[in-house]
Structure 1
């Protein structure tokens, strides 16, 4: 997973404590017998502290991904959850702080070699360095919070994908569990799926991934919360087919007409192949609907395997179509070069 290599981002106090402890250790055991040794000892402390800080700041920046190279799926999820521009700004400030601390250390090396009071110069240097670190304290805290959120994202692969969508409490998580053996949290209240979760299943040697999206509500994009935006991101940025589940009993708390409007919004917004399946066929309240393609019951397994087989065929057709379009583009480029 791309965000797993991001270590905990230390606080300003933790960075300074670490650097000053190492600086003190660098001086311990040395005998200061005159001005020359005093200069050398205090210079060593300054450079050690500065190197620890610059190295730690550079490592924080290095471990965050280059956002331009992220898959669109991850880029938009990161943008929804923490804000890519905000992360860029904070990482840029850490870069600035690292360079500034290096510059200050070199400046004070020159000063300390001319000084009659090396410890005073070293303390002045530490004071300026501390001010730099405290000036990026909010950035360090923000980046650590971002790191904690991003590490929880699912690992999505470039492979055949089925996105499960629909209102809350209509059986999305149950379907994923039945098909993949994954066990996302299931509870009888809205938004039980706290983010995009993922499961896998095999057909022969081919692996398929199934994304269980949070509940999508029928309201304008601008009114959606973070969880709903994650679901939309999954739909927009994956080469996938969509299983849109309808609760044909309305026991989820939403009328069929509301669910149908949400279906039309998904179709118009994302331009992906959609299989519409009515769930809860085992219940007496189940209604036959003319706009659905299939029916099933995730409670009894009725129709689940048939729905899965249909989705697999849709995925295969989607892949074949993309390969055809890709081949046509390659052929056209070759023709144009003649």
Structure 2
């Protein structure tokens, strides 16, 4: 997953301590002007390299992050930190925008540490040892000040890393069927029945239950089938703002939505409420095929649906899957053969 291997981001204090302690060791190995130059070069290189590595470890959200993960990340990053634009007017920035601004500030700090290094190294070459020591101390103070200025941004970046690294691993490039409907209508049973999904569960950070994720193949094409408890199992008005944004992210992932209904009423929700949820999902996923499936057909078919099935008995399950595959009409990219 794109955020899984992000490294821990150091705080300003950790970075300064690391740089100066390494610099002291390098200075002890030399003497005179050479020692002062070595200390400055070591400290500046450690600071600039670490700051640049913080930035380059992250993918480019504009070009490298699939829209599904972009919106999901934006939903999860509930940070709200005022970033100054230099005009004196601070406006709160949230989500991915706040993260990108923090990465930009850290990138700036990396450049500044290199500039300070270049400025003071030229001074150290043209002076006596006592003056060189003073210049090196001044450089250290300025380097520390630059790193301390971005401490808030370093902490925000590390918080974002901790929140995003545990996102469920879903392949946004694979054709995907999303299963929706009220609890107990048979969604997880369907996912488990048609795939090897048992145990393939993980949680979005903002839901209390794990998603169901499975895979199956048809004609050498692998399909994902996803159940999202906590998101598409209740009406939109019952979702909080973050959950609503996560549903918007699912619009980028879903190639087909199966809305399961339980006309038997055993799920505990009246069929009228189930149909209202179906209508809301159709409105939300207006650019995606949405199929209405009457499950538990061995007990009741007292609802108008496009297909009827029973996961428990296996009746028409394959028919429903084939209908979803046909609705997706996925065409794999073939190599150009001239």
Corresponding residue for residue 131 of structure 1 = 145
The CA distance in 1 between the partners of 2:185 and 2:13, in whole Å, is 49
Corresponding residue for residue 156 of structure 1 = 171
Query: Does the CA-based 8 Å contact 2:214-2:224 persist in structure 1?
Result: yes
Deviations 1:265-320 (CA, angstroms, capped at 9, x unpaired):
221232211121233456xxx5533332233444454443332232223223xx47
Matched, 1:56 2:50: yes
Using the TM superposition, give the Cα deviation of residue 120 of structure 1 relative to its aligned residue in structure 2, in angstroms.
3.5
Q: Structure 1 residues 141 and 109 mapped into 2: Cα distance closer, same or farther (>3 Å)?
A: same
Corresponding residue for residue 100 of structure 1 = 112
Corresponding residue for residue 87 of structure 2 = none
The CA distance in 2 between the partners of 1:193 and 1:250, in whole Å, is 23
Equivalences for 1:1-338 in 2 at 5 Å?
Answer: 1-30=1-30, 32=31, 37=32, 39-69=33-63, 70-82=65-77, 83-112=95-124, 113-114=126-127, 116-153=130-167, 154-183=169-198, 184-185=200-201, 192-194=208-210, 198-214=213-229, 215-216=231-232, 217-220=234-237, 224-234=240-250, 236-238=251-253, 240-271=255-286, 272-281=288-297, 287-316=300-329, 319=330
SS at the partner of 1:7?
coil
Q: Structure 1 residues 297 and 148 mapped into 2: Cα distance closer, same or farther (>3 Å)?
A: farther
The CA distance in 1 between the partners of 2:202 and 2:144, in whole Å, is 48
Q: Structure 1 residues 42 and 96 mapped into 2: Cα distance closer, same or farther (>3 Å)?
A: same
- Higher helix proportion (structure 1 or 2): 1
Deviations 1:78-125 (CA, angstroms, capped at 9, x unpaired):
211222211110100011111111122223334444363433432332
The CA distance in 2 between the partners of 1:249 and 1:14, in whole Å, is 61
Query: Does the CA-based 8 Å contact 2:51-2:107 persist in structure 1?
Result: yes
Q: Structure 1 residues 219 and 206 mapped into 2: Cα distance closer, same or farther (>3 Å)?
A: closer
Query: Does the CA-based 8 Å contact 2:295-2:311 persist in structure 1?
Result: yes
The CA distance in 1 between the partners of 2:17 and 2:184, in whole Å, is 50
The CA distance in 1 between the partners of 2:42 and 2:142, in whole Å, is 15
Using the TM superposition, give the Cα deviation of residue 7 of structure 1 relative to its aligned residue in structure 2, in angstroms.
1.8
Q: TM-score, normalised by structure 2?
A: 0.79
Using the TM superposition, give the Cα deviation of residue 143 of structure 1 relative to its aligned residue in structure 2, in angstroms.
1.2
The CA distance in 1 between the partners of 2:235 and 2:68, in whole Å, is 22
Structure 1: which 5+ runs fail to align?
324-338
Q: Structure 1 residues 230 and 100 mapped into 2: Cα distance closer, same or farther (>3 Å)?
A: same
The CA distance in 1 between the partners of 2:99 and 2:328, in whole Å, is 35
Query: Does the CA-based 8 Å contact 2:22-2:42 persist in structure 1?
Result: yes
Q: TM-score, normalised by structure 1?
A: 0.79
